[in-house]
Amino acid sequence: MENIILIGHGSPKRDANNIELVGKLLHNTIHPGCTDGCVRIAYMKYGDPDIPGAIRASVESGSKKVIVHPYFLSSGLHVTEDIPEMIREAEALYPDVEFVYTEPLGTHEKLIHVIMERISTAGGALLPEDIERKSFDILTGEADFTGLPPEQLPIMQRVIHSTADFEFRKTLTFHPEAVTAGLAAIKAGKNILTDIEMVRTGINKRWLKPWGGKVLCTISDEEVIRASRETGKTRAEIAIEQGIDESVGIIAIGNAPTALLKTIEVLNERKMQNPPLVIGVPVGFVKAFESKALLATQRFPFITALSRKGGTPVAVAVVNALLKMANEEAAKEEEVVSGKAKE
């Protein structure tokens, strides 16, 4: 068993001694669902527990390895002298316990990203597009996109940017004609049908407006609610079943596996000449993965994520990436036409 101890400086102002939240976030990240005290906190001064107390509690809980992290930005005297001295004393008291001392937070590109977010939140000079561009630069530097088809790259980047989850690099799956079908639907002025209001709300209407399409979601309509009560079907699957028609070019499902299963059923039954692109990324433990695995076997265009992960942010990110791509292509075409006209 090992323990991690996060050490903060501590402040006479009690409200400032709040690294417990950081400890909980770290614990939930490395040991989801664990109720043991694997991650502890301690303070140099003013706060409780102090460092010797946190070390003692770790050892008494049975820990044979204690990892000490100074939650400091720089290597001052506390980091280079005071804390190491306390660790040496602990090593003498507990010779059977291994102690590991990490570097402080220091200078790291991820901290730069946090600073950028703080500036943006405070209404600072960085524009949203600057934040987004720099964020994309950071994630591109951290993820290996080798071998990814160029037309899929903007979508993959936006999904990872929206979720901060690099696992989608391995799980996001594309039908060979998915991107082409999505862009064609947008440019043809086709509508986008969503399973829930959150997905509808997240789609960038400003990017969609030039093409004439609309974002549709009828899950809260009285007719859908009534039909759900009468049939026992979910509102999401009824709304999708009623909403699919020739005017729909993209179906974006980020929440309801039943809606995705109904989409697959309807498209296979109707055998539409130009079926819509299905973005199916419901999240969860019940039928979510199964519905996405089934989608990945279909002949009509799809984009899905073959894991339990997904949700509204992923569905929205895929649609918005396609919208931005369509607008960028239109702008390039306009530049070409304009250049030829000048000649």
Same domain, 46 and 25: yes
pLDDT category of residue 271 using cuts at 50, 70 and 90: confident
Residues 208 and 321 in one domain: yes
Q: Is 161 a catalytic residue?
A: yes
CA distances 277 to 159, 214, 243, 252, 270, Å, are 17, 15, 14, 8, 15
Q: Which of 204-213, 320-329, 332-341 has the lowest mean pLDDT?
A: 332-341
| Residue 115 is assigned to a structural domain of this protein | yes
Residue 342 lies in a domain: no
CA 234 to CA 224: how far, in whole Å? 9
From the list 27, 69, 161, 175, the catalytic residue is 161
pLDDT tens by residue, 126-157: 555 665 666 666 666 667 788 889 999 999 99
User: Residues 152, 128: one domain?
Assistant: no
Residues 308 and 235 in one domain: yes
DSSP conformational letter for 31: S
Span 265-273, average pLDDT = 91
Residue pLDDT, tens place only, 152-182:
999 999 999 888 888 999 999 999 999 999 9
Q: Give yes or no: residues 240 and 274 share one domain.
A: yes
pLDDT at 28: 82
Q: By percentage, how much of the chain surpasses pLDDT 90?
A: 58
**Same domain (yes/no): 91, 156:** no
Angle at 123 between CA 117 and CA 127, to 5 degrees: 70
Give a yes or no: residue 89 inside a domain: yes
In angstroms, rounded to a whole number, what is the distance separating the alpha carbons of residues 152 and 131?
22
Rounded mean pLDDT, 255-267: 94
- Asked, for residue 343, whether it belongs to a domain, the answer is no
Looking at the fold, whether 88 and 12 belong to one and the same domain comes out as yes
Does some domain include residue 201? yes
Model confidence at 323: pLDDT above 90:
yes
**Residue 56: what residue type?**
R
Give residue-wise pLDDT tens across range 36-80.
Answer: 878 999 999 888 889 999 999 999 999 999 999 999 988 889 999
Q: Residue 21's domain spans which residues? A: 2-101
Residues 325 and 194 in one domain: yes
Nearby residues of 95 by Cβ (< 8 Å), 6 or more positions away: none
Q: Which of 247, 249, 245, 227 is nearest to 236 (CA)?
A: 227
Q: Say yes or no: 230 and 315 in one domain.
A: yes
Domain CATH number, residue 44 = 3.40.50.1400
Report the number of distinct structural domains present in the chain. Answer: 3
